[in-house]
Amino acid sequence: MWRTISNRWFILAVLFFARLVMAFQFQAIAALSPLLMADFGIGLADIGFLIGLYFAPGILFALPGGVVAARFGDKRVVGAGLILMLLGGAIIAATQSWNVLVAGRFIVGTGGVILNVIMTKMLVDWFAGREISTAMAIYINSWPVGIALALIFLPALASAGGIAFAWWALWGLVAAAFVLFALFYHPPEGIEVGTVTLERVALPYVALTLAGLVWAFYNTALAMIFSFGPAFLVQLGWSLTQAGSVTSLFMVLFSIALPIGGIIADRTGRKDAIIYLSLMSFAVLMPVVIYAPATALAVFCVLGILFALGAGPVMTLPGDVLSPKSRSLGMGVFFTIYYVAMMVGPRLGGGLADAAGDAGMAILTGARMSLAAAVSLLLFRRATI
C-alpha cells in the first residue's frame, strides 16, 4: 500500500529530506574543519580545496547524469547517486589517508550532482502547472537548512564521540534518505520511465542556456556573501565573531524568506516581478554597503529577506521551456552551467579582491552578477516569445 502514496506534497517531503542530507554532507568538511586539520595536518587552503571539490564533479557529470536518467529512469539513477554518497561517506569515515579522503569527497560530490540534477526534474514532473513556485522554493530551502543543521549537530557529535562518530552518524542519515526514497518515491502518472529516445529530444538551447545563466549568476552573487562577507566586515573593523554572526543572520533570514517568494509568485502570477525585485535589490543595495559601511547590518538583514524571494521562481524557469521528455537532458544542461559558474565565480571575485587589496571588490562583483542575472532573465523571456 505504501508504494501507492501519490500526494505530491509527501513526495516533496521525500525529495526535501534527500536534498537536506546532501547539504548536510556537503557542509561536513567546513563543520568539522578544526578536527580535520588536526588529524591530517592540513591547513585552511586544503579545507577550501575539499569544500570546492564537492562541486567539481558537476562539470563532468551534470549533463551525462541527465542523459543517463532519461535512458534508465530517474529513480534508479537517483538511487545510484545515494549509493555513491553512502560509499564515499564510508570511505571518508574509515580513512586516515589524505588521498583516500580526497577520493571519498569526490565520490560523494558525484552522488550529490546526480541528486541535484535529477531530483529537481522530479519535482517539476510532480508540480508542473500546480503551485510550482511554492514547491520549488520549499525544495530549494533544503540546502540552507541542511547546512545550518550540519553546523549545529556535527561539531556536537564529534565532541561527544570523536570525528569518526560524527562521520558514521552522517552516514546513517544518508542511509535513512536512501531507504525513504527507495520505499516511497515514484513518478507521477503520465511520466514515461526510461523510454526516452535521446536522439529525438530537441532542446530549446538558447532559452535553456539563458535560464541556466539566471540561476548561475544568482548563486554566484550569493556565494560572494558567504565567501567574502566575513572578510569584508572584518576589514570594516568588525570582530571576526561579529562578522560571522551577521553572515549567519543573513543565512537564517534567507532560509525563512525563501519559501515566501514561491508562495507570492504562485498566488499573484507575477513570477518575473518577484525575481527582478530579488536581483535588483542585491545589485543596488550591496554597493551601498561599500560606500556607506555604517549601513552594513541593516543591508545584510534586508537583503537576507529580499534576495531569497527570487530563488524558487528562478528554479521554475527551465520548466517553462522543457517538455516532460526533455526535462532529464535539459536539467543536465541547466546544472552544467550552474556548476561551471560556481567553480569560476568565487575565484574571480577572490582574485579581484586580492588584486585590489580590498574584500569589497568581491562584494561589488556579486552586485554585478546579480545585475547580469536580471539581464539574462530579460533575454530569456525574449527567447521564449
Please give the single-letter amino acid code of residue 3.
R
pLDDT of residue 185: 93
Q: What is the reported pLDDT for 137?
A: 82
Burial of residue 195 (CB within 10 Å: 0-12, 13-18, 19+) is exposed
Question: 237's torsion region: left (phi>0), alpha (psi -120 to 50) or beta?
Answer: left
Residue 291 lies in a domain: yes
Statement: residue 49 has pLDDT above 50: yes
The three three-digit cell numbers of residue 158, written as one number: 564529534
Q: Are 9 and 157 part of one and the same domain? A: yes
Backbone φ/ψ region at 269: left (φ over 0), alpha (ψ -120 to 50), beta: left
Q: With 0-12 CB in 10 A as exposed, 13-18 as middle and 19+ as buried, what is 324? A: middle
Q: Do 10 and 77 share a structural domain? A: yes
For residue 194, tell me if it sits in a domain. no
Q: Which of 249-258, 301-310, 358-367 has the highest average model confidence (pLDDT)?
A: 301-310
In this structure, are 335 and 277 located in the same domain? yes
- Tell me: do 108 and 239 sit in the same domain: no
At 196 the pLDDT is 52
State the Cα torsion 178-105-337-65 to the nearest 10°.
Answer: -40
User: Do 230 and 247 contact (CB within 8 A), yes or no?
Assistant: yes
Residue 224: predicted pLDDT: 84
Mean pLDDT of 294-302: 92
Cell of 124: 517539476
Contact 327, 119 (CB under 8 A): no
Q: What does the alpha-carbon distance between residue 16 and residue 121 come to, in Å, rounded to a whole number?
A: 13
- Let me know whether 72 and 147 are in one domain: yes
> 70 pLDDT exceeds 80?
no
What pLDDT, on a 0 to 100 scale, did the predictor assign at position 15?
Answer: 96
Among residues 126, 156, 186, the one where a domain terminates is: 186
* pLDDT for residue 2: 43
Q: Is residue 13 situated within a structural domain?
A: yes
Domain boundary among 186, 221, 248: 186
Q: Are residues 138 and 209 in the same domain?
A: no
Domain end, chosen from 125, 152, 186, is at: 186
How far, in Å, CA of 335 to CA of 347, rounded? 19
| Same domain membership, residue 94 and residue 56 | yes
Domain match, 211 and 180 both: no
Single-letter residue type at 14: V
- Tell me the one-letter amino acid at 380: F
Question: Can you tell me the mean pLDDT for 290-314?
Answer: 92
For 96-153, what is each residue's pLDDT tens digit? Answer: 999 999 999 999 999 998 898 889 889 988 887 778 888 888 898 898 888 778 877 8
Chain-wide mean pLDDT for the chain? Answer: 86
| Residue 316 DSSP one-character state | T
For 189-209, the pLDDT digits (tens) are 766 555 555 556 678 889 999
Q: What is the pLDDT of residues 262-286, one digit of tens each?
A: 889 989 989 999 999 999 999 999 9
Number of domains in the chain: 2
Specify the higher pLDDT residue, 22 or 44.
22
More confident position, 228 or 95: 95
Least confident residue range of 180-189, 288-297, 334-343: 334-343
Indicate the residue type of 327.
Answer: R
- Per-residue pLDDT at 76 exceeds 50: yes
pLDDT above 70 as % of the chain: 94
Which letter does DSSP use for residue 190 in this model?
T
Task: Give the structural domain span for 262.
Answer: 205-383
Residue 197 domain-assigned (yes or no): no
Check which CATH number belongs to the domain holding 225 and give it.
Answer: 1.20.1250.20
Indicate if 125 and 175 belong to the same structural domain. Answer: yes
Q: Is 49 in the same domain as 118? A: yes
In a domain, 256, yes or no: yes
Instruction: Name residues whose C-beta falls within 8 Å of residue 36's C-beta, 6 or more positions apart in sequence.
Output: 29, 42, 47, 50, 163
Tell me which residue has cell 513556485.
Answer: 133
Q: Is residue 195 included in any domain, yes or no?
A: no
Tracing cell 520511465 back to the chain, one arrives at: 193
What DSSP character marks residue 295? G
Q: Report yes or no on 220 lying in a domain.
A: yes
The reply to whether 191 falls in a domain is no
Residues 170 and 210 in one domain: no
Domain match, 159 and 228 both: no
